[in-house]
Amino acid sequence: MHPPTRISAEDIAKSRIEDYALIGDEQTAALVGRDGSVDWLCLPRFDSAACFAKLLGDEENGHWRIAPKDADGAPHACTRRAYRPGTLVLDTEWDTPQGSVRVTDLMPQRDRAPDLVRIVEGLSGRVTVHSTLRLRFDYGSIVPWMRRSDGHRVAVAGPDSVWLRSEPPVLTWGENFGTHSEFTVDEGQKVAFVLTWHPSHEPRPPLVDPHKALRGSIADWQAWSARCRYHGPHRDTVLRSLITLKALTYAPTGGIVAAPTTSLPEEIGGVRNWDYRYCWLRDSTLTLGALLMAGYQEEAEAWRDWLVRAVAGAPADMQIMYGLAGERRLPESVLPWLTGFAGSTPVRIGNAAVRQLQLDVYGQVMDSLSLARTSGMAVKPHMWQLQCALMEFLRSAWRQPDEGLWEVRGGRRQFVHSKVMVWVAADRAVRTMERHPELKGDLHGWRQLREEVHREVCERGYDPERNTFTQYYGSRELDAALLLIPRVGFLPPDDPRVQGTVEAVRAELGHHGYLRRYSTDHTVVDGLPGGEGTFLVCSFWLADALHMTGRREEARELFERLVRLTNDVGLLSEEYDPVSGRQLGNFPQAFSHIGLVNTALALFGDEGAG
């Protein structure tokens, strides 16, 4: 393991999160740069250790670059790139003085083992192509032992084994702890590489035909995309967001990771760097609604089923996030050998926020299960008993302070959004019993709880002087999550308190036309130094709130600006810095893409219904 190297100002300026594209097989994902380099890949799962970690370090932490030889040795962006329509298959093309060449990247849905397929195709002329593969297991810290076997290059270190082959075979050699290949392609000629991972104690899995895998992946993705019911404005962008959500789904369980990355910074050079390779309950209702309204009932049911399994157990022990299969232990640690994206440290794995109390997640779960029931999904055994147990816990616990939606690390407070979501939990329980009188539960008690929470929030969480709800009881601060008050039905959109809150949030948290989630300038609420970018999902919430309060043209104008923030292949990170024009935070971010889909459906639902 080599020591961290100093990141130059030039390298920081050149490092841009939006330069990446996503490929994946619904169990893990890779990020591919404009220069043809795979700089991030965790195998075999989203939350496994990375074998390519250049994204958070340098080339010695692992990457795999395929590009024209003339482009080798220095950062060299491709001429153009795009996904095949309706798929997660990526084409990257270079025009050179000698001709043009394309690299097609994909991860076919796996049978037994994960495969990364990279197909080089000559488009015109005669182009020499160079491949540089540096495998570094355990987040770039372990250099594997390389050997040749049966026409393959084989890398082994501890539990990991990776096999690399090309069809047809090309000249390959080892140099500087990397594996290099060089070959020439004429127009119409193809060279395919396949990289396959498996546990080192098991035999090599069956070989994958790369060209058959390409055809199958295109067919499968396009068949899935054809199910999309949205046909309104920006359909391609909405569909790309849905494809991204599908790609972030862990197919064996139905869980959806918040992002496939860890520690991409919320501020360049800052410390707000978190591991998002887990499944958050906060996303549940918005995710479920987006999938159902867009026509993806099967995926919605898989997410609902994951949710029911994950939260099963004592309500007091319910967590804000879980692992891909519902794992509960996600210990947080720091990887000191990685210099971080654009020099932003620390690089963290795991997430200590898993132990926080966030009362809003109880409302999210109750709202999700209510939505699932009203949408016609088959009711899961014991689902209502689980909901009743959650309500009994909230009856005694709802007055507690908590860390809130944004997982602050500055101490617990009486967050208004958390209390609103407690009201949502009680409201959905009451409505479910009113629709299904055959169910057993404390209808009278839950109605009383709903009324009591509503009354307290309106008394203690509202500032009549400024005509706005506040971030927490007695606070002068605001919170973008307050924009959800009309959406969840706590108050109607035409209530003056709602309209005042929308105006206050936009005025105080607005930043160059977008929205921060809360102020980090003069508050110790989150307990962290530095700042962050504007939160993209919050800006989508603002568009929703403007639409609901009758300001439809403003809502559409904001949505148009947000759509323009997607990178060249339609992807969004968590945040955006409007001053530098850079995306920030983990990438691509499920919450941002959920916001895009839901806002499109809200603004253009009538004209977009299919």
Between residues 334 and 608, the one the model is more confident about = 334
Say yes or no to pLDDT of 314 above 70.
Answer: yes
Q: Do domains 31-214 and 226-604 have the same CATH topology?
A: no
Rounded distance between C-alpha atoms, residue 62 and residue 137, angstroms? 8
Task: Name the residue ranges covered by the structural domains of the chain.
Answer: 31-214, 226-604
Q: Which two tokens stand for residue 99?
A: 């001709």
Say yes or no to pLDDT of 534 above 80.
Answer: yes
Residue 241: CB atoms within 10 Å: 28
Say yes or no to pLDDT of 3 above 60.
Answer: no
Tracing tokens 């195709």 back to the chain, one arrives at 121
State the pLDDT at residue 14.
Answer: 66
Helix (H) or strand (E) holding 502: helix 496-509
β-bridge partners, 50? 42
Rounded distance between C-alpha atoms, residue 37 and residue 91, angstroms? 13
State the pLDDT at residue 407.
Answer: 87
Q: Please count the residues of the chain.
A: 610
Say yes or no to pLDDT of 30 above 50.
Answer: yes
Separation of CA 478 from chain center: 25
Rounded to two decimals, what is the model's pTM?
Answer: 0.95
Percent of the chain past pLDDT 70, that is, above it, reads 95
Tracing tokens 């709802």 back to the chain, one arrives at 398
Rounded distance between C-alpha atoms, residue 4 and residue 71, angstroms? 26
Class of domain 31-214: mainly beta
State the pLDDT at residue 74.
Answer: 46
Say yes or no to pLDDT of 2 above 50.
Answer: no
* Beta-strand relationship, 29-33 and 37-42: antiparallel
Tracing tokens 């936009």 back to the chain, one arrives at 506
Separation of CA 324 from chain center: 13
| Widest CA span in the chain | 78
Say yes or no to pLDDT of 109 above 50.
Answer: yes
Say yes or no to pLDDT of 564 above 80.
Answer: yes
Say yes or no to pLDDT of 457 above 60.
Answer: yes
CB 591 within 8 A of CB 573: no
State the pLDDT at residue 16.
Answer: 94
Q: How far is CA 407 from CA 270, 273, 517, in A?
A: 17, 13, 12
Mean pLDDT across 113-122:
98
Rounded distance between C-alpha atoms, residue 198 and residue 23, angstroms? 19
Contacts 24+ apart (CB under 8 A), 216-219: 216/108, 217/87, 217/88, 217/89, 217/106, 217/108, 217/109, 218/84, 218/87, 218/89
State the pLDDT at residue 112.
Answer: 86
> In 3-state terms, what secondary structure has residue 175?
strand
**For residue 196, which of 186, 210, 185 has the smallest C-alpha distance?**
210
For domain 226-604, the CATH architecture is Alpha/alpha barrel (1.50)
Q: How confident is the model at residue 11 (pLDDT cuts 50, 70, 90)?
A: low
Contacts 24+ apart (CB under 8 A), 76-85: 76/35, 77/19, 77/34, 77/35, 78/34, 78/35, 78/36, 81/21, 81/34, 81/568, 81/569, 82/568, 82/569, 83/21, 83/240, 83/569, 83/570, 84/218, 84/221, 85/222
Q: How confident is the model at residue 111 (pLDDT cuts 50, 70, 90)?
A: confident
Q: How confident is the model at residue 427 (pLDDT cuts 50, 70, 90)?
A: very high
Say yes or no to pLDDT of 85 above 90.
Answer: yes
> Lowest-confidence range among 27-41, 140-154, 545-559?
140-154
What integer best gives the mean pLDDT of the chain?
Answer: 93
> In 3-state terms, what secondary structure has residue 436?
coil
State the pLDDT at residue 606.
Answer: 63
> Lowest-confidence range among 280-294, 430-444, 562-576?
280-294
Mean pLDDT across 137-148:
94
Q: How confident is the model at residue 472 (pLDDT cuts 50, 70, 90)?
A: very high
**Positive or negative, the Cα torsion across 119, 217, 49, 17?**
positive
Say yes or no to pLDDT of 410 above 90.
Answer: no
State the pLDDT at residue 522.
Answer: 58
